[in-house]
Structure 1
């Protein structure tokens, strides 16, 4: 689930589902057409297809940097179960069917252009994957539509000077949210290494979606900066402005932090979402209007002993055992050594992988090495379209999870270090109510199957990232739950250590 000079905060957090991948890529859809309107997506199918159990449903998903609206369409055609993900993507780049228009000196909008006909399954996959892009363009805010409930946990200050940890809430192993103080108020936010802007819901917004959240009231220390923003997307549009105010993270205080306030929502973007904003922790090269991201201001004011932050993501759903630590990492949460890898592009937290192996075998995913991005704002693991289709074929996951113990091990070899994911690490449980929850490490295939009608799906998502950043793989929360991650701005390194659970 949203533009100024040379920025973007594009991180996909898509709960992608291909329940069955046995549909031939040359399979034709009888007279089916997919249309992109000016700000929406619609699907048209012939009447003869309607008799084949045609249903639609919305589901939870997000894309930081784009606004995404998700619809799953299930069609039973010639004994094939096809899962179509229709995506409305707003991106700040002139490519394909997308167009960016500059309205005023400081207001940007994006509108979708032409309709597009999809005939074969291959065209459908291309349509879905290639329009979700990482661009060095800009997006003023990030939207994520995730249901969440619970209290805001208190901050914990470590004994060590200038090192602060915040407890994070684990929502279904797909979202980790924590508290931050802006002015005189406390908000629940997502800390996102894949974006660089900081936005929150404003009290100036009177729309229903806004009123469901804690709304920002400027404090006496706030300053009006006069930068406007406008974003259009499938379920409505947002209008906002960028101002500054006092911010506190534990004992860390920052004056005059730029914040994007959402002041108007037309539609249902924020309805039923459970967080009040997003704090981007990416490099300043992707920040709107060349403003400093929050962590860069913390660095400039020398608030920390070490200019690092780290994430420990517990695998206990709905717990508060996860944490983000500013100024270092919690060594008690690591089992073994920490290995560091240099950032190769100071935009995303991008590093170089030597290879990606399936059961120790080179399947050709990284013939000359490949780029990988550590992204706390992404739930899944994403990769180039063709590679992900091949990976789905190699894993061959049964819907009922009956072959859980037979599935291959997936290995990311980075800097000569093997980071392994077993099947229980990359399989998600799709429940009858439509929610997806990764399997815990103590779950066996037999325990999963007995007494449940849930299904198993791979926690993978095709995502083509074009040059200059791509092609690249994204290591989302599925990977970062198994491996504690450290982000070091002093050395421009990303560190991984096996997390204790």
Structure 2
């Protein structure tokens, strides 16, 4: 899994169809649809990406209900896509999934023009799917393609490294984390949403309304309500709200030692973010351009916080589902540096 474009997208290789058509997709636990720009897409954004052509695939099928009933529209925080669903064979590494619902995008907003990935690989639950179809991970389980019913995500803590991350379907690479792996149950099976006990600074609770956290590999920030973002940024020295940008600028980028450690209490365990974790350069090509706080207004719910990549680069994460009980869980452990995986193996 490789990240370019200033670490705003984590993506890898997949293939769809027979014969295989190759694409890059962004792996996103905060959405639930697999889509690719399709041949016939009329939008300017599609010109810069590999195009999926179901007419060139002998395994492509129109799902039951006919093409007229299978149009979809997906709106994101920035951008939107629209198209038609086709069932086709999906291949991810050694895993093959037959009849995977694949969105062929025929219109896309300009936001996707410069995207590092061709399309999106949703890893959330079916309840979030705009195509009303089982997402790839759950079809992998149904097709008995996994050694264990889980996937795990490691985002490299070293932002300067070429190897930006790794996703493992059906196992856990024990070299990607240190210490114990602690799991907590999913409380809302749409997002991978888990209960959150509190957020603390210097041992004191920050007064926030959020009680759940959606673990989202597709988010470059930690999003929350306006009031919660204001409360957290109030305890960060040098933080000032920029209303036009909807973000908090930080004035002391060269003195991170003066900023506090911020602790998330989840499942009775503390997960600390150091100042370097939640402080982002406004322009990573110019270290003098200032920096911003990762705590940003933008949650869709008063009770929900979006736990994005600033947290996930510090903490390795696992996502498991038990089809017999319908229960799900998320696990966290401290992420290891890249070199630690050299002698490790993936385990189920």
The residue number in structure 1 matching 2:112 is: 270
The residue number in structure 2 matching 1:498 is: 334
The separation in 2 between residues aligned to 1:234 and 1:477, in whole angstroms, is: 16
State the 1:202 CA deviation: 0.6
Q: State which of 279, 297, 300 in structure 2 corresponds to 1:465.
A: 300
| 1:266-295 deviation line (CA, Å, top 9, x unaligned) | x63432222111011111122234311111
State the 1:354 CA deviation: 1.4
Q: State which of 58, 62, 65 in structure 2 corresponds to 1:220.
A: 58
Residues 170 and 320 in structure 1, CA contact (< 8 A), matched pair in contact too = no
Q: State which of 352, 356, 359 in structure 1 corresponds to 2:202.
A: 359
Higher Cα Rg: structure 1 or 2?
A: 1
Q: Which runs of 5+ in 2 are unaligned?
A: 239-249, 338-348
| 1:444-465 deviation line (CA, Å, top 9, x unaligned) | xxxxxxx952202111111243
The residue number in structure 2 matching 1:375 is: 216
State the 1:388 CA deviation: 0.7
Residues 1:330 and 2:165 aligned together: no
The residue number in structure 2 matching 1:302 is: 144
Decide whether aligned partners of structure 1 residues 234 and 386 sit closer, same or farther in structure 2, where only a CA change above 3 A counts.
closer
Q: State which of 168, 182, 185 in structure 2 corresponds to 1:339.
A: 182
3-state SS of 2:23 partner: strand
Q: Which runs of 5+ in 1 are unaligned?
A: 1-166, 438-450
Residues 1:429 and 2:264 aligned together: no
| 1:409-437 deviation line (CA, Å, top 9, x unaligned) | 10001111100001011101112xxxx58
Residues 1:182 and 2:16 aligned together: yes
The residue number in structure 2 matching 1:157 is: none
The separation in 1 between residues aligned to 2:141 and 2:125, in whole angstroms, is: 12
State the 1:400 CA deviation: 4.3
| 1:371-402 deviation line (CA, Å, top 9, x unaligned) | 11111111111122111112112102342414
Count of residue pairs brought into register by the alignment = 312
Residues 309 and 327 in structure 1, CA contact (< 8 A), matched pair in contact too = yes
- TM-score normalised by the chain length of structure 1: 0.59
RMSD: 2.4
3-state SS of 2:62 partner: strand
Residues 408 and 422 in structure 1, CA contact (< 8 A), matched pair in contact too = yes
Alignment of 1:180-329 (within 5 A): 180-183=14-17, 184-218=20-54, 219-225=57-63, 226=67, 227-229=70-72, 239-265=82-108, 268-314=110-156, 315-317=158-160, 319-329=162-172
State the 1:326 CA deviation: 0.3
State the 1:170 CA deviation: 5.0
Residues 333 and 499 in structure 1, CA contact (< 8 A), matched pair in contact too = yes
Residues 1:394 and 2:226 aligned together: no
3-state SS of 2:280 partner: strand
Decide whether aligned partners of structure 1 residues 403 and 326 sit closer, same or farther in structure 2, where only a CA change above 3 A counts.
same
